[in-house]
Structure 1
Amino acid sequence: MSVALLKTERLSVAYGRVEAVREACIEIPAGGVVTVIGANGAGKTSLLNAVMGVLPSSGGVEFDGRALGAKPVEERVAAGLSLVPEKRELFAVMSVEDNLRLGAYRLGAGAIRTGLAETYARFPRLRERRGQKAGTLSGGERQMLAMGRALMGRPRLLMLDEPSLGLAPRIVKEIFAIVSELKATGVSILLVEQNARAALEIADWAYVMELGEIVMQGPAADLANDKRVIESYLGLGRH
């Protein structure tokens, strides 16, 4: 991989005596798409939340060559990190457009106008529903809104936690197509997914996480053809 935009060194997260993440070392190159796959409960979400500063952790996190240390979430966002959580966490009683504007609260009026235009071009359905309350959207539309809100802040690294969760196959395909398109804009992406097949198809590099530990890593195309990955995550049909 090329020079790392994000790097973790022996990153660990514990809930009391239970270690959810154990000495995880990952790298995200500038402009790359990296995925972390694994079963439910493998520690993938805890890994993202530790990188974002939502969870306390031990070990190190470096972003653009600088240690993040104990920096709060707000400073990590300002540095260019953005997380779209699994539950999307939208403001249900606010309109689609107001949710988007909140994603760019640090930016000026001109940047917000530009961001809205870009977001509506990328997600036409959000333009159609811009005056609608976020809580009335479909699951796929809520995921698009969560991604659009994160992109409004012009992040350098976009972290996506289970973006396909609970969505119909047609919508999942659409969401992953958008993730692929984002790569061309220069945004680095860290994608956490249980849908290993879809994630490996769009990623450059992949990590496999089991019981809090990184147990495999390599080019996504290689892992997609690895016997152990096929048997554990892709189904026996790939033999």
Structure 2
Amino acid sequence: MSALLTVSDVHVAYGKVEAVRAVSLDVADNEIVTIIGANGAGKTTLLNAVMGILPLKGRVAFAGEDLGRLEIEDRVAAGLSLVPEHRELFASMNIEDNLQLGAFRVGRARAATSFERVYTLFPRLKERRKQLAGTLSGGEQQMLAMGRALMGAPKLLMLDEPSLGLAPIIVADIFRTVGELRRAGVSVLLVEQNAQAALAIADRAYVMELGEFVLSGTAKDIAADQRVAASYLGFTHEDESAV
């Protein structure tokens, strides 16, 4: 598979403090890649740097194009989109208007297709499309944040902690939708503390600690790793075999 996103030897610093060090990763077409790790590991910082929100040293290429000089809007136009950890919705605007903002770089016909796609993925948003975003539940807000990012028809969707603060049943819905996106041809780069859910849906995984990748491989192999199981899954494989 050819790489859609390539991150090469990236460093990101806050002043003199280096939050991300010598990180390299790639995401292929129609692939779900997850980055797992504890709070403060540098996961969000990395996504923000790839999106152009933070400056970085190193190289980021998307669909073969160097993103180094592209503004955020141009990265969105190229097919790269980020759903931030805190969703950043416009609380005083309704669902439909929030979604419309996600289509600001596409034509009217394409926006209509995007609305149809988002409402098919998230029928609850269609039912409540005139409801103010600030009155939605946490799960509905996450759906809206994902829907808004999808309005621009991205090739790669970066998700930052989509399960944060949500009930297990809603988390299952969100991850099921991520799988549907991949089947529809959207690649996904998923940052997630819920390692078990992330590894269950991903093709490949990276484990991040203190700004560096300490382990990478197929999601199946990472999930089977003793250290990962003990540190991020809450059990050891010896515990499993003893049950």
The answer, yes or no, to whether TM exceeds 0.5 is yes
**2:132 matches 1:133:** yes
Paired residues of 1:6 and 1:61 also in contact (CA < 8 A): yes
Q: Which residue of 2 aligns with 1:29?
A: 28
Q: Distance in 1 between matches of 2:82 and 2:115?
A: 19
Structure 2 residues not aligned, in runs of 5+: 239-243
Range that drifts further, 66-75 or 83-92:
66-75
Cα deviation 1:172-207 (Å, max 9, x = unaligned)? 011000001111001010000000000000000000
Q: Distance in 2 between matches of 1:168 and 1:238?
A: 26
Q: Distance in 2 between matches of 1:88 and 1:115?
A: 19
TM-score after normalising by structure 1: 0.98
**2:203 matches 1:208:** no
Offset, 1:168:
0.5
Q: Distance in 1 between matches of 2:113 and 2:153?
A: 11
DSSP 3-state at the match of 1:206: strand
Q: Which residue of 2 aligns with 1:145?
A: 144
Which residue type is aligned with residue 143 of structure 2? M
Q: Which residue of 1 aligns with 2:74?
A: 75
Paired residues of 1:53 and 1:70 also in contact (CA < 8 A): no
**2:63 matches 1:61:** no
Q: Which residue of 1 aligns with 2:241?
A: none
Q: Which residue of 2 aligns with 1:165?
A: 164
Range that drifts further, 111-120 or 196-205:
111-120
Paired residues of 2:226 and 2:236 also in contact (CA < 8 A): no
Paired residues of 1:206 and 1:217 also in contact (CA < 8 A): yes
Q: Distance in 1 between matches of 2:6 and 2:74?
A: 17
Offset, 1:237:
5.1
Which residue type is aligned with residue 186 of structure 1? G
Cα deviation 1:58-111 (Å, max 9, x = unaligned)? 000011111111311011001100000000000111110000111011111111
Q: Which residue of 2 aligns with 1:223?
A: 222
Q: Distance in 2 between matches of 1:130 and 1:16?
A: 43
DSSP 3-state at the match of 1:189: strand
Q: Which residue of 2 aligns with 1:234?
A: 233
Q: Distance in 2 between matches of 1:9 and 1:50?
A: 12
TM-score after normalising by structure 2: 0.96
Q: Distance in 1 between matches of 2:14 and 2:107?
A: 39
Paired residues of 1:205 and 1:218 also in contact (CA < 8 A): yes
Paired residues of 2:34 and 2:198 also in contact (CA < 8 A): yes
Structure 1 residues not aligned, in runs of 5+: none
Q: Distance in 2 between matches of 1:198 and 1:237?
A: 16
Which residue type is aligned with residue 215 of structure 2? M
RMSD (Å) for aligned C-alpha atoms: 0.8
**2:47 matches 1:48:** yes
Which residue type is aligned with residue 110 of structure 2? A
Q: Distance in 2 between matches of 1:147 and 1:39?
A: 23
- What is the aligned residue count? 238
Q: Distance in 2 between matches of 1:238 and 1:146?
A: 36
Offset, 1:238:
3.9
